[in-house]
Amino acid sequence: MRARVYVTQPVAAAALTRLREVAEVSLNADALHIPGKDELLVAVREHDILFCLLHDRIDADVIDANKNLRMIASMTITPADIDIKAATARHLPVTVIPAALLNDATADHTWALMFAVGRRIAEADRLARAGIIPGSQSNYFAAGGISGKTLGLIGLGGVGRAVAQRARGFPLKVIYHDPRRLTASDEQALGLNWVAFDELLATADYVSLHANLSAKTHHLISERELSLMKPTAYLINTSRGPIVDEHALVRALIERRIAGAGLDVFEHEPGINPALLGLSNTVITPHMGSAVATLRAAMADAVVDNIIAVLDGRQPPNCWNKEIYST
C-alpha cells in the first residue's frame, strides 16, 4: 500500500507530480485558506505523512492524532511552529529545507522594502490611484532616500551577506552587528564595518534585521532599542516577526520616533496588527520574501526529496531532529 501524504496548501505542480509518483497525495487546494487545528487533526488521522508550510502550527495534539504517522515534512528553514519535542519522542523525523535556497530572494525583497518605504513608493502608488497627483516637483512625497545613507545589518548569515553584497552597487556605508564577527578579509570583501549593537541602532538610517529567531532574539527590537534609533531611520524586517516587539513598534511609528518600517514578517502570523495597516509610514507585505516561482519550486522539491528518503528507509537530507537516527 502506498503512503498517503497530505499537503496543507498548493505547492509547485512539478513537485506534486514527483510526489504522486511515489505516494497517494491529497491537499488543501485553496491557496488562501490556512487549515486550522481541527482540519489538521482530521488530515493527520487519515494520512501517513504531513507536508506542511511555514504558517502551519503542528502541536503535540496534531502529532499524536495518528500513531502511524511517519514524518512531518516542513517547507521552512526553522520549524518554530512544530512541537519538535513531541515529534522526537515519537521518533518522527521533522524535515526542513536548506537555508541557502532563500538567501537571494529574501535579500532582493529586503531591498524592495527599503526602496518602497525609503522613497515612499507604496504610499505614492496608493495616492496616485486615488487621484492625488501633487506635481512632479512638489515636496509632498519628499522622502529619506537611499544613496549616501548608512545601512545597518543585524545578523550576518546567508541573507545578511546577500543584502551586503547588493549594497556594493550603491553609494552606501554598511555597518553590521553579529555576535560572531567576520574575519577582516571577509569584512573588506563585503565592504562592512562591525559595530556594537547599540551603536548600529543609533547610527544607521536603515536597520535591517537578519537574525535567526530564538529565545535570545525574541523581542530583540523593543522599546529601548527603538528609542536608540534616529527619528529619520527606518526599520526593515524580512527575518521573523517575533524578533520585533510589535506593540512597541506601533507606538514608535505613531509617535514618529522613527521614520517608518518595511515589514514582511509579523509577530502573530498570519495575523497582522491592524494598527500597522493603518499607518502611512509602513510598507506591509504578507511574508513573501521567497515568493519567486523558481525558488518556490526548488523549496517544494527539497520537501519531496526528504519524503522520498523516508519512504526509501533512508535518513532524509534535511532532518531537523536527526538525533532520532542515532538512537
Q: Are residues 194 and 262 in the same domain?
A: yes
Q: Are residues 34 and 117 in the same domain?
A: no
Q: Residue 314: left if φ>0, alpha if ψ -120 to 50, beta else—which one?
A: beta
Range 42-65 average pLDDT: 97
Q: Are residues 89 and 66 in the same domain?
A: yes
- pLDDT over 90 at 176, yes or no: yes
Residue 247 is a catalytic residue: no
Q: Residue 138: which pLDDT band, with cuts at 50, 70 and 90?
A: confident
For residue 282, the 8-state DSSP code is: E
Q: 83: which 3 cell numbers?
A: 512541537
Q: Are residues 36 and 128 in the same domain?
A: no
State the average pLDDT for the chain.
Answer: 96
Q: Are residues 205 and 300 in the same domain?
A: no
Q: Are residues 269 and 304 in the same domain?
A: no
Q: Residue 297: left if φ>0, alpha if ψ -120 to 50, beta else—which one?
A: alpha
Q: Which residue is it, cell 505516494?
A: 23
- All residues at 6 or more sequence positions from 43 whose CB lies less than 8 Å from its CB, including other chains: 6, 8, 26, 35, 50
Q: Are residues 29 and 70 in the same domain?
A: yes
How many angstroms separate the CA atoms of 129 and 297, rounded? 34
Q: Are residues 157 and 137 in the same domain?
A: yes
CATH number of the CATH domain containing 231? 3.40.50.720
Q: Are residues 198 and 313 in the same domain?
A: no
**Quick one: what percent of the chain has pLDDT higher than 90?**
94
Q: How many helices (H) and strands (E) does the chain have?
A: 13, 12
Range 51-78 average pLDDT: 97
List pLDDT tens digits, range 279-303.
Answer: 999 999 999 999 999 999 999 999 9
Catalytically annotated residue among 240, 246, 247, 267: 240
- All residues at 6 or more sequence positions from 307 whose CB lies less than 8 Å from its CB, including other chains: 5, 19, 22, 23, 49, 51, 71, 73, 95, 316
Q: Are residues 125 and 189 in the same domain?
A: yes
What is the domain extent for residue 131?
101-284
Q: What angle do CA 298, 98, 293 make, to 5 degrees?
A: 25
Q: Is the pTM of this model over 0.85?
A: yes
Q: Residue 98: left if φ>0, alpha if ψ -120 to 50, beta else—which one?
A: beta
Q: Are residues 230 and 315 in the same domain?
A: no
Q: Are residues 154 and 250 in the same domain?
A: yes
List pLDDT tens digits, range 208-260.
Answer: 999 999 999 999 999 999 999 999 999 999 999 999 999 999 999 999 999 99
Phi and psi for 199 in degrees, rounded to 5?
-65, -40
Catalytically annotated residue among 287, 296, 314, 323: 287
Catalytically annotated residue among 269, 296, 314, 323: 269
Quote the pLDDT of residue 136.
81
Residue 268 is a catalytic residue: no
How many separate domains does the chain show?
2
Q: 188: which 3 cell numbers?
A: 573588506
Residue 287 is a catalytic residue: yes
Quote the pLDDT of residue 1.
81
- pLDDT over 80 at 327, yes or no: no
